[in-house]
């Protein structure tokens, strides 16, 4: 009794008509092409937005954390650290580690002299006393072992 009918732009058309099918195919291709152009334009816009840079001036007194903040920002949002930057940071990290352990040992010793309980066992008191008196010491494997003994020492 007749072909399938569809409503297209308010007109009823016969889908079995080859000219109608060609129009549908052409319209579909045009829509895909338009979508690709929009995606391309959006991609270019996003790349331009990523190129926008902000400049920030950090002001503060010495030892207030300006460099630390800058490094954290770089680590979080910037390029990863290079091998040379990591190698340059290693001595500073080791120096800070030695200083922190020295401070902990020193205050542990002071608290022990005042009669306060400390978490250092009698076996490790000599290590604590040595670590408390460290000055400009290089980080060696022996020192690492001593730090581990002190750190793990819990009464």
- Read off the pLDDT of each residue in 67-92 and give the average, rounded to a whole number: 86
CB distance 120 to 153 below 8 Å:
yes
Helix (H) or strand (E) holding 34: helix 18-51
Q: Is 64 flagged in the annotation as binding?
A: yes
CA angle 67–73–75, rounded 5-degree value: 100
Q: Is 66 flagged in the annotation as binding?
A: yes
**So what's the pLDDT on residue 83?**
92
Residues facing residue 12 across a β-bridge: 7
**So what's the pLDDT on residue 10?**
52
* Domain ranges for the chain: 82-155
Residues facing residue 7 across a β-bridge: 12
Q: Is 7 flagged in the annotation as binding?
A: no
CA distances to 61, 78, 117 from 74, in Å: 21, 4, 43
CB distance 4 to 16 below 8 Å:
yes
Q: Which tokens go with 29?
A: 């291709």
Q: pLDDT digits over 6-59, tens only? A: 455 555 555 566 777 888 888 888 888 888 888 888 888 777 776 776 777 888
**Residue 1 binned pLDDT confidence (cut-offs 50, 70, 90):** very low
CA R_g for the chain: 36
CB distance 2 to 10 below 8 Å:
no
Q: Is 19 flagged in the annotation as binding?
A: no
Please choose, from the candidates 140, 139, 146, the residue with its C-alpha nearest in 3D space to the C-alpha of residue 125: 146
**So what's the pLDDT on residue 88?**
92
CA distance 3 to 18: 12
At which residue do the structure tokens 């930057």 appear?
A: 85
**Residue 87 binned pLDDT confidence (cut-offs 50, 70, 90):** very high
Q: Is 133 flagged in the annotation as binding?
A: no
CA distance 21 to 85: 64
Q: Is 63 flagged in the annotation as binding?
A: yes
pTM, rounded to two decimals: 0.49
Q: Is the pLDDT of residue 110 over 70?
A: yes
**Residue 154 binned pLDDT confidence (cut-offs 50, 70, 90):** low
């Amino acid at each position: 009794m007749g072909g399938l009918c569809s409503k297209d732009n308010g007109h009823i058309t016969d889908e079995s008509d080859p000219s109608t099918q060609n129009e549908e195919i052409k319209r579909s291709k045009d829509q895909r092409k338009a979508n690709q152009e929009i995606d391309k334009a959006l991609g270019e816009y996003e790349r331009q937005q990523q190129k926008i840079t902000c400049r920030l001036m950090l002001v503060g007194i010495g030892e207030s954390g300006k460099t630390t903040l800058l490094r954290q920002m770089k680590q979080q949002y910037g390029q990863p650290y290079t091998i040379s930057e990591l190698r340059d940071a290693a001595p500073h990290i080791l120096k800070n580690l030695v200083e922190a352990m020295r401070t902990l040992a020193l205050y542990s010793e002071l608290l022990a002299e005042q009669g306060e309980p400390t978490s250092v066992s009698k076996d490790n008191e000599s290590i604590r006393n040595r670590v408390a008196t460290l000055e400009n010491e290089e980080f060696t494997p022996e020192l690492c072992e001593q730090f581990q003994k002190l750190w793990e020492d819990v009464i």
